[in-house]
Amino acid sequence: MGIRVKYPPHWRLFAAGNGGQAIEGNPIFMQRAIALATENVLSGAGGPFGAVVVRAGEIIATGVNLVTSTNDPTAHAEVVAIRAACKALGAFQLKGCVVYTSCEPCPMCLAALYWSRCDAIFYGNSAADAAAAGFDDSFLYEEVKRPLDQRRIPTKRLLGDEAIESFNTWRARTDKIEY
Ligand SMILES: [Zn+2]
């Protein structure tokens, strides 16, 4: 018994290799993610967030929120789990993997999950649940939609004509590893 999700059409294009078939969510893996989240609070290592990466029916990596214990604002459970999974696989993508996270991903983790090219994402708590517990990330979703000059962190272009050199070098290189 599980929950089936369907890829939206655009993701089917993005995630070449997966034919867009439904992915079965396994409650056992979500329970593990939830348990990791609760244990993380009890141990004092970080916030109430846990994630597991599953490949071929097996957990290949786990992650918990380590922001405060490692002084790393990017150490959200999903990012920690993605890094561990990629290390375990010796790969920079998670094709064929399903990620179970105890909470709906924040914008950073959502982007990281898309970059990882994982096959599907299952989440436990909703973003609204997170907001009620003091973890409101809705401002980030709003921020992304705002023009640069209206964002909270001042963001301005500088030396664009010099920066383009990096892209020119990338384009010219014939033996690069594309991703
Ligand atoms: Zn996050």
Residue 21: its pLDDT value, please? 60
Residue 122: its pLDDT value, please? 96
Q: Which residues contact 143 (CB under 8 A, 6 or more apart)?
A: 151, 152
Amino acid identity at 40 = N
Amino acid identity at 109 = C
Name residue 100's beta-bridge partners.
52, 122
Per-chain mean pLDDT for the chain: 91
The pLDDT of residue 93 is above 90: yes
- Residue 128 C-alpha to ligand 1 middle, in angstroms? 14
The pLDDT of residue 3 is above 90: no
The pLDDT of residue 9 is above 80: no
DSSP conformational letter for 155: -
- Residue 113 C-alpha to ligand 1 middle, in angstroms? 10
- Residue 132 C-alpha to ligand 1 middle, in angstroms? 16
If we measure between CA atoms, which residue out of 133, 129, 128, 138 comes closest to residue 106? 138
Inter-CA distances, 163 with 98, 149, 154, 167, 174, Å: 36, 21, 19, 8, 20
The pLDDT of residue 170 is above 80: yes
Q: What confidence tier does 23 reach under pLDDT thresholds 50, 70, 90?
A: confident
CB 26 within 8 A of CB 2: yes
CB 136 within 8 A of CB 107: no
The rounded distance, in Å, linking the Cα atoms of 113 and 98 is 10
* Active-site entry in 24, 39, 58, 78: 78
Residue 107: its pLDDT value, please? 96
CB 78 within 8 A of CB 52: no
Better pLDDT: 34 or 14: 34
* Phi, psi torsion values for 72, nearest 5 degrees: -130, 105
Is the sign of the CA dihedral 145, 46, 80, 1 positive or negative? Answer: negative
pTM: predicted TM-score of the whole model, two decimal places: 0.87
Residue 24: its pLDDT value, please? 78
The pLDDT of residue 1 is above 60: no
If we measure between CA atoms, which residue out of 91, 54, 68 comes closest to residue 83? 91
The rounded distance, in Å, linking the Cα atoms of 137 and 175 is 40
The rounded distance, in Å, linking the Cα atoms of 138 and 177 is 35
Task: Dump pLDDT digits (tens) for 62-90.
Answer: 999 999 999 999 999 999 999 999 999 99
Q: Which two tokens mark 91?
A: 């790969």
Residue 2: its pLDDT value, please? 56
Average pLDDT score over residue span 99-103: 98
- Residue 72 C-alpha to ligand 1 middle, in angstroms? 12
* Phi, psi torsion values for 56, nearest 5 degrees: 50, 40
78 is catalytic: yes
